[in-house]
Chain A
Amino acid sequence: MLGLIIFALLGAIAAGTKWSTASWTPNLALDLEGGTQIILTPVADNGEDISSETIAQAIDVIRQRVDSSGVAEAEITSQSGGKIVVALPGNPSEETIALVETSAQMAFRPVLAIGNPTPTDTTPTPEPTDSAAATDPAAPAPTPTPTAGAEEPSDEPTKAAPDNPSDTAYYITPAVQAEFDALDCTDPTNLTGGVNGDPDKAFVTCGQDGSAKYILGPVEIEGARISSATSGLNQLPSGGQGNKWVVNIAFDNQGTTEFTDVTTRLQGLSASPPLNQFAMVLDGLVISAPSLDSGVIIADGKAEISGTFTRESAASLANQLNFGSLPLTFKPESKEQISATLGSEQLQMGLLAGLIGLGLVVVYSLLQYRALGLVTVASLMVAGLLTYSIITLLSWTQGYRLSLPGVAGLIVAIGITADSFIVYFERIRDELREGRTLVAAVDRGWERARRTILASDAVNFLAAVVLYVLAVGSVRGFAFTLGLTTLIDVLVVFMFTHPVMQLVARTKFFGQGHRLSGLDPRRLGAPSSTRYVGRGRVVHGSETSEGRAVEDAPVDAEATPRVPVAVGGGTGGLTIAERRAAARAAEQKAASTTDAPVDAPAQESEPESGRTEGNEH
């Protein structure tokens, strides 16, 4: 059974290595592999509580930044207490680190121009805006073309003040235009986001997916003005539900007023797309730039964005908008750099310590339990194999990474796992001392040890769970391995050690208590007085039936295991009278052999019956 589990685990890993990205070794965490770990606490600007959805969204934002900046295999996770842990392998540049720490903002800006994502060679604005600027009723003639030559494009607006935020003439300065022309949104490094731009100036940026580039006007509505955003199916005018996915935004009071102004103005520009579009900018990238339906002025602060949404894309946009409604800053809690060499040295030393510890445990249990120690060693090996394969499997499927505290947890677990075996073995020995045969002792000892092992492992597991749930950072790795090994301990004791003990108890070597078996009843001092144990059987020993005279008895009193004195060649069908007679005879015999070598009576009776197990029948 257990073999099956291990086989399945190893098989899964083998299959994984062959056809997927799994490997035979678990992934290592930063403290062993080297790299940079930054722990950030997102802080809402208005001091509000931060929900877990917001954290998830914040992680997405950071991931977008990190992935686009070309750092491979960054690991970004959230931890209890709303912390975000960003783990970057290797030695990332200062810019990457700074990028991770910038705050994420959301804003609504009017669209001034849209272009293909690739850089434009020609100076004229890209097609969508070509005619728009010219026919813009709110703005005077388009800006003069940038001065030819190597001169820096001027960043000075041509007018003293903008007529309105959609004033292309004011905002699209030659510098902005040049920047826009040069921007290449197909290059992932331009999709890192993190730059929010001056809220009062035009802003050149890309769509989040890199499919278009934009020139945007100044910030008109801040993300904080959104009171909620939801996704759902559209409401038909009849009150029924349509079949198109839409995103509904509700603004707060100030937002409603601002949005009314914006829509009113954009409505006036409906003839000149894309000036009738407004862009939602999250973390410096345009997540959506819907245009206003003609004739609609939204005055109640409830906007509905429709388009080619699927359920997922609608929900994702709504989440992004909700996230944007809560401006966050990331406060760095700690920033740690671990060099790869130091990490591998720590790992080596940790493994060395583990091996030394394991070796010492093996030596000690062999000394203490003789051959029984081998059962401990085998169980520890099974537990080790199981732990290793589970960790490897988890690091493949769940992205678990083994950290140094995790390694320490594993090493500590050696002791705790071995303890279960000790509890069990001591119980078996206790039962042997009470005069049971090995098979019976194993069964009874198991019954009692099981309780103790379960209770103590439950306490341990509880500790691990509490640590894991409440802890941050390194404590987590430790709690995880501790909890995992506790579970594996229970599994191994139940499905390996106990069955093995049952098998072993039937062998001659252990069953008859060989001196080296560690289960030698003589050495354990099983009650050694000759006594009647019922059903016509008598146990012989060196002591008198009044076993009180202990002080005089030899300390290393040798007792034989129960050997029936049964008459009748093991048929067991004795009459009561016969039994009494046997009992009397035994007492007399015992009394007469008080100081005689113990083995004598045992040998006499042995040939009569091969049965050595007292209460089996």
Chain B
Amino acid sequence: MASGFAQWGNDLYTGRRSYDIVGRRKIWFTISTVLVVLSAIFLIKPGLNPGIEFRGGSEFVVSGVSDTGQQLAIDTVTQISPDEQPKVTTVGGDSLRIQTSTLTEDEVTEVKNALAEAYDVPVENVTSSFIGPSWGKDLSQKAITGILVFLLFVTIVMTIYFRNWRMAAAALIALFHDLIITVGVYAAIGWEVTPATVIGFLTILGYSIYDTVVVFDKVRENTADTLLQSRYTYGEKANLAVNQTLVRSINTSVVALLPVGAILFVGAFLLGAGTLRDIALALFVGMLIGTFSSVFLATPFEVALREREPAIREHTKKVLDARAARAASGEDVSVSAEDLRVPVGALKPGAHQGNAAQPKRKR
């Protein structure tokens, strides 16, 4: 399999095999739009399920129980405060988490003792927490400030690094796309949004940009001399870059997803609700979408932006016209966007490569 994969990667690199990712951008844009719209719907209809950190309330954890039956916990709580609708979840192997709305100090003590009695564990095994309603609000406010500050910095850094605001713009579009879809998937699954989830969302920011930067770096390298030649259009060169980094993108996302998948597995099946599971789900979805967007969304979008530039537009027109003319005269038919072959490094026998290509004296 690996040899096939290496061969495939190598074909992608030389351009022998090429997927017209940039040319078919309408398809990817449509897919992305549909996904974003779906996420928006999920965000409105079931909506995000705020965790206790965002609702505020009291939480009890009974650890070391022999029987993880949940009804017992519900009955115990409702005995003390009849209007409560406690949420009970299993945490870890032998612990139960019971969440209620905010209780008074006395009620907390009462519930604690009652739970200890009901589950036949010492009172020390029952812990209680209280989370004020402003805590979560504070956290989300911080998160939003964080996102804004980060975006500002990233835009500046990318504009300076790539010397082109369009790349920054395309990266940001990809970023929003990733973020919205990740949040949408989270809403659709219906797990509680906890601070851990927010951490996951915030990490997606970094990861999405990170992934896009790597692809854009190759695009920049490939397209640096676009205007100096008249054989390929900007879009074709960019497309080659995407194809050339495809293997890396796949390897990277597999390698990044493996540990996250491990956390997700352990978190979801062995631990139950908790920090690890929440972070892992957000990261898993985000990284998957991030890889997709860095390949199928960011670069095509960047090309779409660049092609509106007068210089690039003119150049593209020139190349295509020349190609059409050649095709009409029947001399060089093979060149088309479909089987584009860019001699990235393949030297032509006998052709002079310029002084720069001459062997250097070792210093």
Contact residues of A with B, CB < 8 Å?
Answer: 31, 39, 80-81, 91, 94, 331-339, 341-342, 345-346, 349-350, 352-354, 356-358, 360-361, 364-365, 367-368, 370, 404-405, 408, 411-412, 414-416, 418-419, 422-423, 426, 429-431, 433-435, 448, 451-452, 455-456, 458-460, 462-464, 466-467, 470-475, 478, 482, 523-525, 527, 529-535, 545, 547-548, 550, 555-556, 583, 587, 614-617
**Alpha-carbon distance A95/B267, docked complex (angstroms):** 35
Residues of B with C-beta under 8 A to A414: 259
**Number of chain B residues whose Cβ lies closer than 8 Å to a Cβ of chain A:** 102
Interface pair A462/B210, CB less than 8 Å apart? no
Interface pair A357/B259, CB less than 8 Å apart? yes
Interface pair B131/A335, CB less than 8 Å apart? yes
Binary per-residue interface labels of chain B (322-363) against chain A in the complex, 1 for a CB within 8 Å, 0 otherwise = 000000000000100000000011111110000001111010
B203, CB-defined interface residue at 8 Å: yes
Assuming A333-B138, A361-B258, is B95 touching A532 (CB within 8 A)?
no
Nearest CB in chain A to that of B200: its residue: A408
Assuming A548-B334, A550-B16, is B209 touching A334 (CB within 8 A)?
no
**The residue from A411, A471, A583, A617 contacting B146, defined by CB atoms under 8 A apart:** A471
The distance from the CB of A469 to the nearest CB of chain B, in whole angstroms, is 8
Residues of A with C-beta under 8 A to B63: 339, 341-342
Interface pair B260/A466, CB less than 8 Å apart? no
Interface pair B129/A336, CB less than 8 Å apart? yes
The 10 residue pairs across chains A and B that have the minimum distance between CB atoms: A357-B259, A434-B345, A463-B206, A415-B256, A337-B127, A357-B262, A525-B10, A356-B262, A360-B258, A353-B266
Residues of A with C-beta under 8 A to B127: 91, 337-339
What are 23 A-B pairs with beta-carbon distances under 8 A?
A334-B129, A334-B130, A338-B127, A339-B61, A339-B95, A345-B93, A346-B275, A357-B260, A360-B259, A364-B254, A370-B2, A405-B196, A411-B260, A411-B262, A412-B259, A435-B345, A459-B158, A473-B139, A475-B202, A482-B203, A524-B6, A556-B7, A617-B359
Contact residues of B with A, CB < 8 Å?
Answer: 1-3, 5-7, 9-11, 13-14, 16, 53, 59, 61, 63-64, 91-93, 95, 109, 124-125, 127-132, 134-135, 138-139, 142-143, 145-146, 149-150, 153-154, 157-158, 161, 195-196, 198-199, 202-203, 205-207, 209-210, 213-214, 217-218, 221, 244-245, 247-248, 251-252, 254-263, 265-267, 270-271, 274-276, 279-280, 283, 287, 334, 344-350, 357-360, 362
Interface pair B3/A523, CB less than 8 Å apart? yes
Q: Which of A80, A466, A474 has the most CB of B within 10 A?
A: A466
The distance from the CB of A549 to the nearest CB of chain B, in whole angstroms, is 11
**The residue from B3, B139, B254 contacting A472, defined by CB atoms under 8 A apart:** B139
**Alpha-carbon distance A458/B257, docked complex (angstroms):** 21
**Alpha-carbon distance A525/B3, docked complex (angstroms):** 11
Nearest CB in chain A to that of B360: its residue: A615
**Alpha-carbon distance A334/B57, docked complex (angstroms):** 9
Interface pair B349/A587, CB less than 8 Å apart? yes
Interface pair A455/B213, CB less than 8 Å apart? yes
**Alpha-carbon distance A352/B262, docked complex (angstroms):** 9
Interface pair B210/A434, CB less than 8 Å apart? no
**Alpha-carbon distance A91/B349, docked complex (angstroms):** 79
The distance from the CB of A117 to the nearest CB of chain B, in whole angstroms, is 34
Extra inter-chain contacts (5) besides given A411-B259, A415-B256, A467-B150, CB under 8 Å: A346-B274, A352-B270, A418-B255, A433-B14, A448-B221
Q: Which of A349, A523, A614 has the most CB of B within 10 A?
A: A349
**Alpha-carbon distance A406/B93, docked complex (angstroms):** 22
Residues of B with C-beta under 8 A to A422: 248, 251-252, 255
**Alpha-carbon distance A151/B157, docked complex (angstroms):** 79
What DSSP secondary structure best describes chain B's contact surface?
helix
Interface pair A81/B359, CB less than 8 Å apart? no
Interface pair A459/B157, CB less than 8 Å apart? yes
**Alpha-carbon distance A360/B266, docked complex (angstroms):** 14
Interface pair A416/B125, CB less than 8 Å apart? no
Interface pair A339/B125, CB less than 8 Å apart? yes
Q: Which of A31, A342, A532 has the most CB of B within 10 A?
A: A342
**The residue from B210, B255, B258 contacting A459, defined by CB atoms under 8 A apart:** B210
Interface pair B157/A458, CB less than 8 Å apart? yes
Interface pair A419/B256, CB less than 8 Å apart? yes
The distance from the CB of B244 to the nearest CB of chain A, in whole angstroms, is 7
Interface pair A31/B275, CB less than 8 Å apart? yes
Residues of B with C-beta under 8 A to A418: 255-256
Assuming A357-B260, A426-B247, A548-B334, is B279 touching A408 (CB within 8 A)?
yes
Assuming A404-B275, A433-B345, is B267 touching A451 (CB within 8 A)?
no
**Alpha-carbon distance A470/B139, docked complex (angstroms):** 10
**Alpha-carbon distance A470/B138, docked complex (angstroms):** 11
Interface pair B202/A463, CB less than 8 Å apart? yes
Nearest CB in chain A to that of B357: its residue: A534
Nearest CB in chain B to that of A414: its residue: B259
Interface pair B283/A466, CB less than 8 Å apart? no
Residues of B with C-beta under 8 A to A555: 7
**The residue from A349, A463, A529 contacting B150, defined by CB atoms under 8 A apart:** A463
Q: Which of B6, B53, B61, B344 has the most CB of A within 10 A?
A: B6
Nearest CB in chain B to that of A550: its residue: B16
Interface pair B93/A357, CB less than 8 Å apart? no
Assuming A368-B251, A452-B213, A463-B206, is B259 touching A430 (CB within 8 A)?
no
**Alpha-carbon distance A354/B258, docked complex (angstroms):** 10
Residues of A with C-beta under 8 A to B358: 534
**Alpha-carbon distance A74/B146, docked complex (angstroms):** 29
Residues of A with C-beta under 8 A to B14: 433, 525, 527
Interface pair A533/B260, CB less than 8 Å apart? no
Interface pair B206/A411, CB less than 8 Å apart? no
The distance from the CB of B160 to the nearest CB of chain A, in whole angstroms, is 11
**The residue from A31, A365, A531 contacting B348, defined by CB atoms under 8 A apart:** A531
Residues of A with C-beta under 8 A to B199: 405, 408, 467, 474-475, 478
**Alpha-carbon distance A450/B198, docked complex (angstroms):** 32
Interface pair B258/A342, CB less than 8 Å apart? no
Interface pair A472/B263, CB less than 8 Å apart? no
The distance from the CB of B125 to the nearest CB of chain A, in whole angstroms, is 7
Nearest CB in chain B to that of A415: its residue: B256
Residues of B with C-beta under 8 A to A370: 2
Assuming A334-B132, A412-B259, is B146 touching A466 (CB within 8 A)?
yes
